Amino acid sequence: MAQNSFGNIFRITTFGESHGAAIGVVIDGCPALLPLEVEDIQKELDKRAPGKTPFTSPRKEKDKAQILSGIFQGKTTGAPIAIVIFNKDADSSKYEPIKNLLRPGHANFSYIKKYGIFDYRGGGRASARETAARVAAGAVAKKFLKHHKINPLAYIHSIGNIDAQTPNATFKTLQKKISTSPIYCPDFKQSKLMMGQILKAKKDGDSLGAIIETKVDSLPVGLGDPIYEKLEANLAKAMMTLPATRGIEFGEGFNAARMKGSEHNDAFIMRGRKIKSATNHAGGTLGGISTGMPLIFRVAFKPTSSIMKPQKTVNLKGESKSFSLPKGSRHDPCVAIRAVPIVEAMTALVLADALLMNRCAQL
């Protein structure tokens, strides 16, 4: 079963609850000799941290990573890398009044039914806080990928009804723009509209959904294993394990369902001495294996389930109740913004695993 593990060779196991002692991750299967220091991890964690702009939760959640194992003389040794982030300042008392209410859009109902018990403090294990552990692990995977010249890049594609427009942006341009955008969006013009919508939703005590796009340039040909370890299959699984995700599409995605074969098929051509395709409707894979064209996919996030508006619900006894978050609760008006580094982390984990698996394809 191993419900808290992900990956085959490059494999992570996460643990921890929102208001427990700590969250963390054990990374197994990271090859030896990779230079790694705690700053590599902290840098990625900081991208996920809230409270830096008005567009995320005002919580000051300074996650500080500690590496407990697996590094010697600044390098990985092949031993498991355990990273832990101790929780601080968790005030669980405000959850007491609402502990018996089923929270719309939240997991407390399904957890209680399944396990007969639920750690309701901050959402317990069901909290998105678990994703910090993934970002920590993803930082290691990214470093490993970088060594092999692979750089995954995630960014905001849509917030509410506003879509970014970046048809012809190069990978470098995207990278640069995203790094300077407070909402990780490469289209500064559309960003302004998005930010306006976010602030409005926040004021209204409401929340917004979003779409995150991921692009990976210069992926070698051959990553992904047919039949059941296809690259898209593992990426889809990876993304759908993230809280609040409702869908994923590759290349043309759902639009492909409206196209004709003669439109969707990408013609093979030569680019210098390399076989490429003239278009990239497929989004970088064929038969579940990378083709050397850019990998492209989008993930849909629902609007944050925690909203300030009162909502109808029932309690565990089945009595009708009104649910309201305690005053002063601090939530993300659009959770997907902070999900950008998380999507990037999960992408890195899938690619690192596929890269290692591919070493066994031939004699």
Which residues in the 5-34 window bind a copy of itself by CB under 8 A? 5-6, 8-9, 11, 13-17, 20-24, 26, 28-29, 31-34
- Which H/E stretch holds residue 268? strand 268-271
- Please identify which residue in 93, 172, 180, 363 interacts with a copy of itself, judged by CB under 8 A: 363
User: Which range in 37-45, 48-56, 179-187, 278-286 contacts a copy of itself by CB under 8 A?
Assistant: 278-286
Cα(270)–Cα(167) distance, integer angstroms: 22
Nearest approach, Cβ of residue 179 and a copy of itself (Å): 23
Q: For residues 242 and 342, is the Cβ–Cβ distance under 8 A?
A: yes
Report CA torsion sign: 232, 237, 242, 246. positive
Burial 278-312 (b: 16+ CB within 10 A, else e): eebbbbbbeebbbbbbbbbbbbbbbbbbbbbeeee
Nearest approach, Cβ of residue 172 and a copy of itself (Å): 26
User: Which range in 47-55, 170-178, 186-194, 216-224 contacts a copy of itself by CB under 8 A?
Assistant: 216-224
Which of positions 103-122 make contact with a copy of itself (CB under 8 A)?
A: 104-107, 109-111, 113-119, 121
- Please identify which residue in 80, 122, 138, 186 interacts with a copy of itself, judged by CB under 8 A: 80
Which of positions 186-215 make contact with a copy of itself (CB under 8 A)?
A: 201, 206-211
256 burial level (CB within 10 Å; 0-12, 13-18, 19+): middle
93 binds a copy of itself (CB under 8 A): no
User: Which range in 44-52, 57-65, 184-192, 220-228 contacts a copy of itself by CB under 8 A?
Assistant: 220-228
Which of positions 32-61 make contact with a copy of itself (CB under 8 A)?
A: 32-34
CB closer to a copy of itself out of 8 and 175: 8
- Please identify which residue in 93, 167, 172, 318 interacts with a copy of itself, judged by CB under 8 A: 318
What single-letter amino acid sits at 48?
Answer: R
Number of residues that bind a copy of itself (CB under 8 A): 155
- Please identify which residue in 187, 217, 252, 344 interacts with a copy of itself, judged by CB under 8 A: 252
What the block records as the tokens of 305 is: 């389930």
Cα(25)–Cα(279) distance, integer angstroms: 39
Which of positions 58-77 make contact with a copy of itself (CB under 8 A)?
A: 66-70, 72-73, 75, 77
Which of positions 119-138 make contact with a copy of itself (CB under 8 A)?
A: 119, 121, 124-126, 130
Which of positions 164-183 make contact with a copy of itself (CB under 8 A)?
A: none
363 burial level (CB within 10 Å; 0-12, 13-18, 19+): exposed
Residue 342 neighbours by CB distance under 10 Å: 28
Would you say how long the chain is, in residues? 363
Cα(139)–Cα(41) distance, integer angstroms: 5
